[in-house]
């Protein structure tokens, strides 16, 4: 994939895409000392709506606190910068937004406490990340990093090498996506998504203490399912429970709600997206485009109407 837009927000200024550059000795390039978010904005035909912008920016500041760095802007300034970036590019289509704060001092020291932090906001047109009709997944050999080793609740750039290795393994074997186990052998995540399974009329998802990212789309699905009247239980999920689930789906900003129709060569259910997955995906698609009144608080319009 190659992405492009006209403008990027970098350290307080809108600059041309081709001018958004950093030095080769930038600390984050060498040590992964960046924190980032993935946010989507949806074009409705009349306006561009950013989904759960406030929650994403709040999580970004929590990630910075965990890493031990300070973003040199307020949360409100970051939110305004996101809107400014989208307006500068005059997007009239669905886009993906990547705010990233990174330790920018050119140095090889490991102590980040007194180093400079830069902030960039990149946005570009973006469609479906995974096939919406269903994907084939593989449980890979790489284990999900445990939260006693690295702070996996934070979206820290360096931690995502774990996801890179997992996805490369799955794709090299002909699968669409990876499923990672934790050190105890429970299924905890995809390479960049949270996981849900449906069994016996209930939804299950790993708990936040199981070394998973506290996903915003995950939180959205839990709330939508609860409002729909469906029980959602947080519990460890075994590999066998995934194989024998009625339905499996992955959720994330990029993946949205993606059905998993096969795991390790075993069909999930009848090998097609199940009714719960389809209903939640349809509801989610309406919510993010501002079509459900009770969830309008989750969308932020970009253009004045």
Segment 103-113 shows an average pLDDT of 97
38 and 97 Cβ atoms separated by less than 8 Å: yes
Of the candidates 254, 246, 241, 255, the residue with the CA atom closest to the CA atom of residue 188: 241
**Is residue 64 within 8 Å of 103, Cβ to Cβ?**
no
Phi-psi region at 147: left, alpha or beta (left = phi > 0; alpha = psi -120 to 50): alpha
Residue 116 exposed, middle or buried by CB count within 10 Å (0-12, 13-18, 19+)? middle
Average pLDDT over residues 288-293: 96
Mean pLDDT along residues 231-252:
97
Distance between CA atoms of 138 and 157, rounded to whole angstroms? 24
Q: Higher model confidence: residue 227 or residue 219?
A: 219
Query: What are the structure tokens assigned to 23, written together?
Result: 């030095």
Check residue 1 and give its pLDDT: 64
What pLDDT shows up at residue 169?
Answer: 98
Q: Is the pLDDT of residue 3 over 90?
A: no
Q: What mean pLDDT is predicted for residues 207-235?
A: 94
CATH topology (fold) of 7-125: D-amino Acid Aminotransferase; Chain A, domain 1 (3.30.470)
**C-alpha count within 13 angstroms, C-beta hemisphere, residue 163:** 17
pLDDT value at 14 more than 90: yes
Question: Quick one: pLDDT band at residue 231, thresholds 50, 70, 90?
Answer: confident
**Cα 229 to Cα 45: distance, rounded to the nearest angstrom:** 31
Q: List, in sequence order, every beta strand (DSSP E) within 31-116.
A: 34-36, 39-43, 48-51, 95-103
115: its two tokens: 């180093």
Going from N- to C-terminal start, the domains of the chain cover: 7-125, 135-288
Q: Residue written as tokens 């837009």?
A: 5
How much is the pLDDT for 2?
Answer: 74
Q: How far apart are CA 258 and CA 130, in angstroms?
A: 7
Other CB atoms within 10 A of residue 173 CB: 12
Q: What separation in angstroms does the CA of 161 have from each of 50, 138, 192, 289?
A: 28, 18, 11, 32
Scan for tokens 């307080």, then name that residue. Answer: 12
* CATH number for region 135-288: 3.20.10.10
- pTM (2 d.p.): 0.95
Residue 166 φ/ψ, nearest 5 degrees: -65, -45
> Which residues, including other chains, have CB under 8 Å from residue 97's CB and lie 6 or more apart?
37, 38, 39, 40, 41, 50, 82, 85, 86, 121, 122, 123
What pLDDT is stored for residue 171 in this prediction? 98
Q: What is the pLDDT of residue 305?
A: 64
* pLDDT per position as a tens digit, 187-217: 999 999 999 999 999 999 999 999 999 999 9
Mean pLDDT throughout 253-279? 97
Q: Which residue has the tokens 């699905």?
A: 221
Question: What tokens does 49 get?
Answer: 């709506």
**pLDDT cut 70: percent of the chain above it:** 99
CA distance 121 to 88: 12
Whether 7-125 and 135-288 share one fold: the answer is no
pLDDT digits (tens, 9 = 90+) for 134-174: 999 999 999 999 999 999 999 999 999 999 999 999 999 99
Question: Is 155 an active-site residue?
Answer: yes
Of 16, 62, 155, 279, the active-site residue reads: 155
């Amino acid at each position: 994939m190659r992405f492009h837009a006209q403008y990027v927000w970098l350290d307080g200024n809108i600059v041309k895409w081709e001018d958004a550059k950093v030095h080769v000795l930038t600390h984050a390039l060498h040590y992964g000392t960046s924190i980032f978010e993935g946010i989507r904005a949806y074009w409705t035909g009349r306006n561009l709506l950013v989904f759960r912008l406030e929650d994403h920016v709040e999580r970004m500041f929590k990630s910075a606190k965990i890493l031990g760095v300070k973003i040199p802007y307020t949360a409100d300034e970051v939110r305004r910068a996101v809107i400014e970036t989208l307006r500068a590019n005059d997007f009239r289509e669905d886009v993906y937004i990547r705010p990233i704060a990174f330790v920018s001092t050119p140095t090889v020291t490991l102590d980040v406490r007194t180093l400079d932090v830069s902030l960039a906001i990149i946005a570009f047109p973006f469609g479906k990340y995974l096939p919406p009709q269903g994907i084939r997944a593989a449980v890979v050999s790489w284990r999900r990093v445990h939260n006693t080793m690295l702070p996996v609740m934070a979206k820290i750039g360096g931690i995502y090498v774990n996801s890179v290795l997992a996805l490369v393994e799955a794709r090299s074997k002909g699968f669409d996506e990876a499923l990672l186990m934790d050190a105890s052998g429970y299924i905890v995540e995809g390479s960049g998504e949270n996981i849900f399974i449906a069994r016996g009329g209930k939804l299950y998802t790993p708990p936040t203490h199981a070394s998973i990212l506290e996903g915003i789309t995950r939180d959205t699905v839990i709330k939508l399912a609860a409002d729909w009247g469906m029980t959602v239980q947080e519990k460890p999920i075994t590999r066998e429970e995934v194989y024998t689930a009625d339905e499996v789906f992955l959720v994330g900003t990029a993946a949205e709600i993606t059905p998993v129709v096969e795991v390790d060569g075993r069909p999930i259910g009848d090998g097609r997206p199940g009714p719960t997955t389809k209903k939640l995906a349809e509801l989610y698609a309406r919510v993010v485009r501002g079509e459900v009144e009770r969830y309008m608080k989750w969308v932020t319009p970009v253009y004045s109407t």
